[in-house]
Structure 1
Amino acid sequence: MARHKSESTEQQAAESFILAAMAKRLSLNFDEIADLGLDVKSEGIDPHQRVLVEAYARVGPLKATLEI
């Protein structure tokens, strides 16, 4: 079965790696079920150190969305 074009397995793996590296380097403890009462879904929340992380990973070059 062919992969769907929007499948993001590689990006999800990269984001997990980014979060693990940040947690180790900055001594963070991300809580997977933390709720800050915001309408935001983020990849990592450390409520005790008040850190919210939005990780972004991309495979391949970015495409311009605005031409000037």
Structure 2
Amino acid sequence: MPPRFKDKAPLKTLAKASQSCATQSLAYGQCIGRSYQDVSKDMCAEEFRAFKDCVQKAIGRKW
């Protein structure tokens, strides 16, 4: 089954959607920045999940 629509500029769409999620993006960036030299899996999972959910809402689809 083909997708409902084909996004002709996916990076522009993602950039536009992420602009409306500045608060969540800042929280995620700060979390990563606090311990970027000692990165571990899921260390900022909560912040990333909030940012991802916001972007998905802005785009209007989930992945």
* TM-score (norm. length: structure 1): 0.32
- Structure with greater helix share of residues: 2
- Structure with greater strand share of residues: 1
Q: Which has the higher contact order (CA 8 A, sep 6+)?
A: 2
> Greater CA radius of gyration, 1 or 2?
1
* TM-score (norm. length: structure 2): 0.33
